[in-house]
Amino acid sequence: MSEQPYPPAHYAPSWAPTARPPLEGFAVAALVSALLFWLWPTLGVLGVAFGITALRTMRTKGTRGRGLAVAGIVVGAVGALLAFAATVAVVVVLERQSPLSTDVSEPVTTTVNRLDAGHCVRDLPADGPVSEVVVVPCADAHEAEVRARVTVSGQSAWPGQDTVDARVEQACLAAEHYSRTGEPLDVVWAPDEHGWEAGDRVGLCVQRTR
């Protein structure tokens, strides 16, 4: 009995490789913008906007990059919040250091380093460190008035309270009000050690009014 030869093998055509979806450009832009927020705070907001746009576009176009888009949204949101918090902190610090308007219409509690010439102080604190005072309209009863605001020079090393007080006193006596009127100087407010080390070089020349 003869053997029948096997029929020739038949091979099905190979499957074409599945094309990989293209990478969504907005997703890349989202992450790049978010990571660069420290160069410009607005980039954090752009990272969030690009990330949201990327997620919407991917649903309609079938592109890939969801992970990049989500990362861009998260990092961008964190960056934007940090930038906002830093901006608020800077504004608060600058406001606390800038002189208060002398045209107050009601009592205002403020830090001493915001006082300027022309401010009327309701009560003089006891001798020692002074942090806050109440400023009132000069038409109201008050115990003292700031005659001059001076700035003293000095290296960063703390020279001692007596030395700083003496420097402020000299600067006060050289100020225009005292050199012009010859009015005796009553009270000197000078930076303490903590303020000096923080860079405070402002002194106040204060006159008792009652």
Check whether 28 has a pLDDT greater than 70: yes
Q: What is the pLDDT of residue 3?
A: 58
Dihedrals phi, psi of 86, to nearest 5 degrees: -65, -40
| % of the chain surpassing 70 pLDDT | 88
Say how far apart CA 22 and CA 69 lie, in whole Å.
Answer: 14
Lookup: tokens for 159: 């020279």
Every domain of the chain and the residues it spans:
25-97, 108-208
Q: Among residues 85, 88, 80, which one has the least CA distance to residue 33?
A: 80
What are the tens digits of pLDDT across the range 101-135? 788 889 998 888 889 999 999 998 877 678 789 99
Strands (E), the chain: 108-111, 120-121, 132-136, 144-151, 187-189, 202-208
What does the alpha-carbon distance between residue 104 and residue 142 come to, in Å, rounded to a whole number?
13
Please report which confidence band the pLDDT of residue 37 belongs to, taking 50, 70 and 90 as the band edges: confident
pLDDT tens-place string over residues 133-185: 999 999 999 999 999 999 998 777 899 999 999 999 999 999 988 888 888 88
Statement: residue 2 has pLDDT above 60: no
**What value, to the nearest 5°, has the Cα angle with vertex 96 and ends 94 and 101?**
100
